[in-house]
Structure 1
């Protein structure tokens, strides 16, 4: 019996793929997808289509068309991220905005602590410092050396800090993937420990969607954010903010506060406010707050379907780091007494690109040793 075998033509990844689908200038080797992203031509086309639609009828699009499309986008993201309830997901400009929204909405009492893991992204660590300056909260650091400690050491260190300050830690912040170096964290276990101790978990998944699997319902986190512009191939600026339904009452306002905010009755005093559009009676108040926070480029959030479609058709990829001044870029950071380089692997790269990056780094190290950087 003759069997018919279906032949599937998989895309040829590497430089030819990058030249066909992406828009980097000729000769540029992009080794830093993990910072500011880079999106393919089909997503660029979707972005321009949305921008044209906005300009065709600005008021109608912003007031009526965009909210309806945004609901469909949130449903698509909920399915992609394993969240059964799409009303637990809203879109914000970036992960820093998302975590600021969460941390600044929480109310802190004297004695409250904000815990965060050593190596937390700088902007978020500074946000914690700001809250220590402006609220009764204090901070507590979970020790972690990514060059020496393994997952077990981090989990035990995290548990030890929460145990030592049992009843005082209001919220704990940790990554899905640490920015520098590009290290996957045991965030699932850390979220579980937070539940054990009754601590709110705020997960910084800036490097998340499109890079690793995120099953939100199974994870059981209180708050999570993930940037769409890094690994999902969406234009700047667009990020997911997940807030579990049980915690949405804690999020009194979007950041910035805008038309969706509902003042307390004693403050409102029967005043009436104008809004760009009125939500349906069934709309979740939390979702409404984040549906419109001011005039933005409506394009990036509405490019999410095109980005997910592109990924499903052609992508299988990973990440590392970058080098500059040789028509490329490599991210360098001083960690635990040494310089570390993070290389971002992507489908538009080939082995020779990484060899080139290593050669450049070697040359730069030799120049530093010879003090050639001194002018």
Structure 2
């Protein structure tokens, strides 16, 4: 596949796939067909919507190694985390663990739930500091060391968003289970980038996006819930089918546009095509090469990278992109001056440049960005 198979602007070098994904044209065409079907006969479409969602859910469950009755479609990971927290029996004084690499909106969801219950959010500092150097076991131990008798929930990433690091998710799930702590896994970037086996993982709650790396239309997320919790899960907005319980109670919201969910399996099927064999390994190798190119040409220091991932980061100069507004301004300047899109992520003391690799990227894309960064920071 090339950029011609996507609706992306060909005049822009797209190296920020991790933020919003990109949908192949053939998947968009299927979603357009579904939208036309809705408008042609709304009554007929909505009369069959529950069965059609269930059929799409079956295919997604098989892709993720999950039980179909154990997952539900949601809009995105932030919604999935909020629904999970909404079903937990939090009490005054309880603690929710997050880390200093937790995605901002997820941390906000944790703070909202804590405020509602009179609980507390505890931020775990992962090792490595500004250089981001840690082992998986060191990261796990940092989480475990923060557990107190009041710890009820631990929220952790499969792949950190801003810093593009792989956490030892199986080690964390198993360790917290032994400590009696409920787990919520933010796997926003995992589906499509990594092989996922939810049955083997065994987290209490797991939520991931299909519109980032699994070629689904936006917004398409998945919330997986372990059997002991399913009866407690309720949607954030009540629906007509709430009495049916999970997953239907979470999925159906009247006249919501469900076409992205129904088209999602068409994105997943791309992974079975001969031309897409080895796509995960290809993307991971390409971003590693891109990291080398940008570091060598621009002089920006590269953070440690995990070889399985199709994302990596480099550190921007001190004082650059240290706030959200300054990161947005820098991103806009790079687009305006160089027609490049890369992920600019703010961090205290200095921001990060996050690179992604997808099937439409080529080595020359990173060469173009590298030249731009060298000129910009000369």
TM-score w.r.t. the length of structure 1 is 0.82
Structure 1 unmatched runs, 5+? 1-12, 263-283, 367-375
- Map 1:4-153 onto structure 2 (within 5 A): 17-19=2-4, 21-62=5-46, 64-83=47-66, 85-145=67-127, 147-153=132-138
CA–CA distance in 2 between the matches of 1:51 and 1:292? 17
Task: Decide which structure has the larger Cα Rg and report it.
Answer: 1
Shift of 1:54: 1.0
Among 203, 209, 212, the residue aligned to 2:191: 209
What are the within-5 Å matches in structure 2 for residues 226-375 of structure 1?
226-251=208-233, 253-262=234-243, 285-313=245-273, 314-315=275-276, 316=279, 317-318=283-284, 319-320=310-311, 323-325=334-336, 326-335=338-347, 337-366=349-378
Equivalent residue, structure 2, for 1:372: none
Instruction: Give the secondary structure class of the aligned counterpart of 1:231.
Output: coil
CA distance in structure 2 between the partners assigned to 1:93 and 1:291 by the alignment? 9
Query: CA offset at residue 101 of structure 1?
Result: 0.9
The residue matched to 2:246 in structure 1 has which SS? helix
Return the structure number with greater relative CO, CA threshold 8 A, min gap 6.
Answer: 1
8 Å contact from structure 1 (residues 94, 237) kept in 2? yes
Deviations 1:100-137 (A, max 9, x none): 11112222112211111221000111122223322221
Distance 1:46 1:94, change over 3 A: same
Distance (Å, rounded) in 2 between the aligned partners of 1:359 and 1:256: 48
Contact 1:236 1:300 (8 Å CA) reproduced: yes
**Residues 330 and 291 (structure 1 numbering): CA distance in 2 closer, same or farther, change over 3 Å?**
closer
Of the structure 1 ranges 171-180 and 286-295, higher mean CA displacement relative to structure 2 is found in 286-295
Which residue matches 1:280? none
- Number of aligned residues: 323
Backbone CA RMSD of aligned residues: 1.7
**SS, match of residue 257 in structure 2:** coil
Deviation at 1:180, TM superposition (A): 0.8
